[in-house]
Structure 1
Amino acid sequence: MSDVMDYNSRLSDPASRKFETFSYLPAMDAASIKRQVEYLVKKGWNPAIEHIEPEYLMDSYWYMWKLPMFGETDVDRVLAEAKACHKANPNNHVRLVGYDNFKQSQGAAMVVYRGKTV
């Protein structure tokens, strides 16, 4: 059996905190993020952009950037909204959410821009 790795993530150290599944992997480049957006659009999920200050990362509620993009299928438009949110909130984490209408839950959620940690 392989050794289980302990991620040294502590509430007292904002820089060490892990969030969302992809934060345990190397940071995604623009092409990887685009593929994720293509996937959630292909699944028919509604994209939404959210953001939050790094110090409040562990809170349950993130700020919504505009309304969810119901029915949006243009990948570049979704990426442009994420970029606009990041530009307006450069110190915040920005995540992309894909809402699944049928299961009435999030089908995907990933941080696409990381804010500055103190």
Structure 2
Amino acid sequence: MPKITQGAFSFLPDLTDDQIAAQIQYALDQGWAVSLEFTDDPHPRNTYWDMWGTPMFDLRDAAGVMGELKACRTANPDSYIRLSAFDSTRGWETVRLAFMVHRPTQEAKFRLERTEGPGRVQHYSVVRA
């Protein structure tokens, strides 16, 4: 079954915890703040994920973030968990890296439904299968 693809590394096999820690350390070395978010609705148009704690502005070691990730996985085993790294440098002030760090054992399925209206209007809606 295909997996939900969102963020960096989404078309690669899932990263191991060592690979996740290496990416976190890279982000921290750049001075980016790391945060964790989770949801049971990973649809790309769902921009409202629940935040796990607050952004980790003060951490400089990937081990601290990995501890929070472990706690988030334990509390939300059937959710998607995304890690985001925010660059607050003046002129950027944006998420520079985001990727999935946990998936539920049963992936969500979506399908596209197309309906035609009057004239040349076509309506698309995404339905959770």
Output the TM-score relative to the length of structure 2: 0.74
| Percent pairwise identity | 31
Match of 1:114 in 2: 103
Q: Deviations over 1:18-52 (max 9, x none)?
A: 21121201111121111101100000000101001
Asked if the contact 1:50–1:63 (Cα under 8 Å) also holds between the matched residues in 2, the reply is: yes
Pick the structure with more strand per residue: 2
Match of 2:94 in 1: 105
Match of 2:75 in 1: 88
- What's the secondary structure of 1:23's corresponding residue? coil
Q: Which runs of 5+ in 2 are unaligned?
A: 109-129
Asked if the contact 1:44–1:71 (Cα under 8 Å) also holds between the matched residues in 2, the reply is: no
- What's the secondary structure of 2:55's corresponding residue? coil
Q: Does the alignment pair 1:21 with 2:8?
A: yes
Asked if the contact 2:3–2:107 (Cα under 8 Å) also holds between the matched residues in 1, the reply is: no
Structure 1 stretches of at least 4 aligned residues deviating more than 4 Å after TM superposition: none
Q: Deviations over 1:37-78 (max 9, x none)?
A: 11000000001010011xx11111111001101121121010
Q: Which has the larger radius of gyration?
A: 2
d(CA) in 1 for partners of 2:4, 2:61: 32
Q: Which runs of 5+ in 1 are unaligned?
A: 1-12
- Number of positions where the alignment pairs a residue of Structure 1 with one of Structure 2: 103
Asked if the contact 1:99–1:108 (Cα under 8 Å) also holds between the matched residues in 2, the reply is: yes
Pick the structure with more helix per residue: 1
State the shift of 1:16 in Å: 4.1
Q: Does the alignment pair 1:60 with 2:50?
A: no
